[in-house]
């Protein structure tokens, strides 16, 4: 009965995104969801770091969450279905009104995230979230809601989200464990390695986690592999491969980090990443070249189509306007390069936390 009751009240989809990309996040999702049902309202406040989408019909938000693959959404950091905004919450008891709604979703959840948007203003609420975390767990337990595995020991398939947009206003709902980000606020907690020559190394590390979840690193990143890093200087992306024992050819007219060169795993080729061709096929090609996204998309497509590499991760530096349209254009460029490839290509494009005015792509066949 709980699931039937929740269908009548969960109309809303909450999406987190990078502040300033709300328009792209909303546009992409609504185009993907238009066949599911009519949208009643869309709250898209510039620089807020989140988008609220509401369906007119009951059950459509949950259907949407089940049918749209989160990994296919470029600009969304997180996706979950929720009740309408809860508030104003009484200062003396913010927990009870939210838990009252949550118990309608089910009685067992894998975890509970108390979250805010990724903005300087919203981060002021992080202290409130920390303060309320234990009271929430206590009240959930009191109401018969458990956090962790089901009573039979099997993993729960839902994750609770309590998203504060003000001290007295919040959204509450759940994501599907297998169709959402597993990171709190959709943000990976990565530590900058002191030995890496630039902070750009975090972009590639995050890409590995984003595109290769569930222990797939061992399949894609083996110590006997080879890689080419186009536009490698000073070596932030190269470092990620060297750290895994993978031999790298770093192509750039600029200098490479001396410690990387001393590793014995790096060959520095002074040259242009757009004209370089490998003497023999490699496992990986990566590129963080600052260039028009259409040129990078064509480059990535060519490397895979010509079987110069098996896998490629690349950054697309987006223009100030029509950023979603540019991503779609780059997808088409890559598809046109791969039209003669027998195997079906796999392409994922995601705006990572460590990206700025850019997105990261992962392509392989």
How many Cα atoms within 13 Å fall on the side-chain side of residue 289?
27
CA distances to 10, 31, 142, 207, 309 from 348, rounded to whole Å, are 29, 17, 42, 10, 17
Please, are residues 175 and 159 in contact by the beta-carbon 8 Å criterion? yes
Unique residue bearing structure tokens 């969801």: 33
Which candidate in 23, 244, 298, 317 is catalytic? 317
Active-site residue, 130 included: no
- Return all residues near 162 (Cβ < 8 A) that are at least 6 apart: 98, 102, 112, 113, 114, 115, 129, 136, 170, 171, 172
| Separation of alpha carbons 206 and 212, rounded Å | 10
- Return all residues near 222 (Cβ < 8 A) that are at least 6 apart: 246
| Separation of alpha carbons 192 and 359, rounded Å | 20
H or E element: which one contains 40? Answer: strand 39-43
Closest residue by Cα to residue 219 from 230, 208, 210, 227: 208
| Separation of alpha carbons 181 and 14, rounded Å | 13
| Separation of alpha carbons 232 and 197, rounded Å | 11
Query: Hey, which bits of 217-258 come out as E strands?
Result: 226-230, 247-251
Do strands 226-230 and 282-287 pair parallel, antiparallel, or not at all (unpaired)? parallel
CA distances to 94, 186, 238, 357 from 180, rounded to whole Å, are 26, 9, 29, 23
| Separation of alpha carbons 87 and 359, rounded Å | 35
**Catalytic residue set:** 317
């Amino acid at each position: 009965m709980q699931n039937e009751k929740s269908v009548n009240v969960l109309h809303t989809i909450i999406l987190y995104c990078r502040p300033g990309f709300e328009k792209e996040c909303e546009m992409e999702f609504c185009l993907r969801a238009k066949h599911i049902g009519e949208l009643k309202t869309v709250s898209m406040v510039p620089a807020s770091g989140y988008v609220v989408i509401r369906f007119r019909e009951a059950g459509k938000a949950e259907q949407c969450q089940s049918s749209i693959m989160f990994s296919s959404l470029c600009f969304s950091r997180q996706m979950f279905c929720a009740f309408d905004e809860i508030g104003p919450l009484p200062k003396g008891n913010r927990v009870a009104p939210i838990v009252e709604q949550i118990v309608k979703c089910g009685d067992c959840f894998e975890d509970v995230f108390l979250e805010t948007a990724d903005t300087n203003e919203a981060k002021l609420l992080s202290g409130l979230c920390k303060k309320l975390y234990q009271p929430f767990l206590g009240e959930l337990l009191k109401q018969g809601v458990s956090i962790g595995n089901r009573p039979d020991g099997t993993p729960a398939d839902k994750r609770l989200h309590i998203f504060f947009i003000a001290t007295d206003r919040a959204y509450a709902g759940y994501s599907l464990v297998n169709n959402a980000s597993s990171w709190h606020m959709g943000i990976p907690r990565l530590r900058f390695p002191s030995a890496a020559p630039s902070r750009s190394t975090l972009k590639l590390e995050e890409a590995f986690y984003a595109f290769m979840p569930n222990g797939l690193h061992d399949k894609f990143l083996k110590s006997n592999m080879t890689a080419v890093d186009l536009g490698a200087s000073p070596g932030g992306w190269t470092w990620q491969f060297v750290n895994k024992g993978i031999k790298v050819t770093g192509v750039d007219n600029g200098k490479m980090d001396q410690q990387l060169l001393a590793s014995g795993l790096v060959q520095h080729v002074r040259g242009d990443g757009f004209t370089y061709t490998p003497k023999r096929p490699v496992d990986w090609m990566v590129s963080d070249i600052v260039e028009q996204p259409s040129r990078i998309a064509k480059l990535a497509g060519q490397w895979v189509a010509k079987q110069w590499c098996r896998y490629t991760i690349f950054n697309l530096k987006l223009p100030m306007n029509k950023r979603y349209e540019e991503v779609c254009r780059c997808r088409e460029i890559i598809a046109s390069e791969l039209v003669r490839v027998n195997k079906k290509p796999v392409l994922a494009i995601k705006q990572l936390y460590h990206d700025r005015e850019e997105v990261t792509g992962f392509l392989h066949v």
